């Protein structure tokens, strides 16, 4: 069955391209002599099966599996470790071909059996938000589209026995709208019925608030959700939390959010991490209600997740409820996000991947095991 393109790829120097990064036309070029149904089998094996390598796609002839394995990397990432919290939250530490490490979190659903995968778009983050563990790391590099897609595919393969994910949120490490090209390509693959098969409405991109990125996302052809991390209703307070706020004020950010709402007719979610004595006063809830007045939006209040060395604390549950109630009283839809996976430091937006948490926790009470 030797095909020239596949043979060329087998002999090509350098790392093999990841299978999930290969488009339909590239796959057709790699396998010009194979019938369409064969290519569909290859696709299904990569995207939709329990196989962890080409050798396990038993629907394919052995010789084709071997040749694919020489030409392509089945996955661009390999699992280093996984940690499981008592509430079912699972945190994965992944390693790339160049030894970059980053985290992915699988969150149990509040509604049923399906789960949500919280993916990283970058290893580390350049934004430096002062309450964010990832922000303390700085940026290592952008993740490729394949490295993003493979996070979801890995979790889905590992969940075949139950709790398979049907949602994806870009709330792991990094700022997705500082890596728009790769995030765009990853979403394109994830919502393609022949590949990831996810509903676009089941994809949410969370941003610290980059107006150019929001404008770009507005032009994307899919109905993906947008979450904007606000954390404060005044420029002064926001600037102490989000360094970007010194360059992008709230008026500019609200203008780009409203433009998104008008163009897409979709609701925006505002993420608001609750920090004791910083942004949790009832008066600040009123300021927030004024800021988003007239918008099609929803406010998600996230109790601060502490991490070693953090300069903040979470407010009491009562303070958080009073803040929410004040928003509701002013006609703003608001909910308090349930804190999950706290004992494994595995909640979204609390990822470090610097080894410290993984090493320390693995010596402690929380269960940890190697999966590789």
Determine if 129 is a binding residue for ligand SF4 (CB under 6 A).
yes
Beta strands at 268-274 and 139-142: parallel, antiparallel or unpaired? unpaired
User: Judged by CB under 6 A, does residue 348 bind ligand SAH?
Assistant: yes
Tell me if 125 contacts ligand SF4 by CB under 6 A.
Answer: yes
Q: Which does 213 bind (CB under 5 to 8 A by kind): ligand SAH, ligand SF4, none?
A: none
Crossing angle of helices 62-71/36-47, nearest 10°? Answer: 60
The dihedral through the CA atoms of 312, 316, 321, 327 has a sign that is negative
Verify whether residue 297 is a known catalytic residue: no
Can 11 be counted among the known catalytic residues? no
Please report the beta strands in 112-154, taking only residues with DSSP state E, as ranges in sequence order: 115-118, 122-124, 139-142
Of 49 and 128, which CB lies nearer to ligand SF4 in the complex structure? 128
Helix, strand, coil percentages for the chain (3-state, nearest 5): 40, 20, 40
CA distances from residue 48 to 78, 82, 335 in whole angstroms, order as listed: 18, 22, 34
Q: Which of 74, 170 has the CB closer to ligand SF4?
A: 170
Give me the catalytic one of 26, 34, 103, 271.
103
Give how far Cα 97 sits from Cα of 45, 172, 181, 226, 352, Å.
21, 20, 20, 31, 19
Taking the alpha carbons of 144, 146, 147, 151 in that order, is the dihedral positive or negative? Answer: positive
Q: Which residue is nearest to ligand SAH (CB)?
A: 349
Q: Taking a C-beta distance cutoff of 8 angstroms, is the pair 303, 337 a contact? A: yes
Between 124 and 153, how does the x/- string for binding to ligand SAH read (CB under 6 A)? -------xxx--------------------
Distance of alpha carbon 54 from alpha carbon 154, whole angstroms = 14
Looking at 95-103, 157-165, 249-257, 298-306, which segment touches ligand SAH (CB under 6 A)?
298-306
DSSP three-state, residue 107:
strand
Which of helix, strand or coil describes residue 334?
strand
210 near ligand SAH, rule: CB under 6 A? no
Q: How far apart are CA 358 and CA 344, in angstroms?
A: 8
Residue count at the site for ligand SF4 (CB under 6 A)?
12
* Interface of this chain with ligand SF4, residues 159 to 218, rule: CB under 6 A: 174-175, 208
Q: How far is the CB of 62 from ligand SF4 (least distance, A)?
A: 44
Q: Rule CB under 6 A: which of 40-69 touch ligand SF4?
A: none
Contacts of 46 (CB under 8 A, 6+ apart): 19, 20, 57, 74, 153
Footprint (CB under 6 A) of ligand SAH, residues 253-282: 271, 273
Smallest gap from residue 154 Cβ to ligand SF4 (A): 21
Name which position in 103, 175, 280, 326 contacts ligand SAH (CB under 6 A). Answer: 175
Residue 208 near ligand SAH by CB under 6 A: yes
If binding is defined by CB under 6 A, does position 275 make contact with ligand SF4? no
Residue numbers of the site for ligand SAH (CB under 6 A)?
A: 131-133, 171, 175, 206-208, 229, 271, 273, 302, 304-305, 348-350
Catalytic residue positions?
103, 348
Rule CB under 6 A: which residues touch ligand SF4? 125, 127-129, 132, 134-135, 174-175, 208, 229, 349
């Amino acid at each position: 069955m030797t095909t020239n393109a596949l043979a060329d790829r087998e002999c090509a120097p350098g790392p093999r391209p990841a299978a999930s990064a290969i488009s339909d036309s590239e796959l057709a070029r790699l396998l010009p002599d194979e019938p369409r149904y064969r290519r569909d089998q290859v696709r299904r094996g990569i995207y939709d099966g329990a196989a962890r390598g080409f050798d396990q796609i038993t629907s394919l002839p052995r010789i084709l599996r071997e040749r694919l394995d020489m030409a392509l990397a089945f996955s661009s990432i390999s699992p280093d470790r996984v940690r499981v919290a008592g509430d079912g939250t699972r945190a994965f530490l992944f390693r790339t071909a160049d030894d970059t490490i980053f985290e992915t979190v699988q969150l149990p659903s509040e509604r049923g059996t399906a789960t949500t995968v919280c993916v990283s778009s970058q290893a580390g983050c350049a934004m430096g938000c002062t309450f964010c563990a990832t922000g303390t790391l700085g940026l290592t590099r952008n993740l490729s589209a394949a490295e993003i897609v493979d996070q979801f595919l890995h979790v889905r393969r590992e969940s075949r026995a139950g709790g398979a994910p049907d949602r994806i949120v870009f709330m792991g490490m990094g700022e997705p709208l500082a890596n728009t090209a790769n995030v765009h390509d990853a979403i394109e693959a994830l919502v393609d019925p022949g590949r990831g098969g996810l509903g676009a409405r089941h994809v949410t991109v969370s941003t610290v608030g980059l107006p150019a990125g929001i404008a770009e996302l507005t032009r994307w052809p899919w109905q993906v959700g947008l979450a904007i991390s606000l954390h404060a209703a005044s420029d002064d307070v926001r600037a102490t939390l989000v360094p970007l706020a010194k360059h992008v004020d709230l008026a500019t950010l609200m203008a780009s959010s409203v433009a998104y709402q008008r163009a897409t007719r979709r609701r925006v979610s505002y993420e608001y991490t609750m920090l004791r004595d910083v942004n949790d006063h009832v008066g600040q809830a009123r300021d927030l209600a004024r800021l988003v007045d007239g918008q099609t939006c929803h406010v998600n209040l996230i109790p601060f997740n502490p991490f070693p060395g953090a300069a903040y604390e979470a407010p009491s549950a009562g303070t958080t409820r009073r803040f929410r109630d004040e928003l509701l009283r002013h006609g703003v839809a608001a909910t308090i996000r349930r804190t999950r996976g706290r004992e494994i430091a595995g909640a979204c937006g609390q990822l470090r991947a610097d080894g410290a948490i993984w090493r320390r926790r693995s010596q402690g009470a929380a269960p940890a095991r190697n999966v590789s």
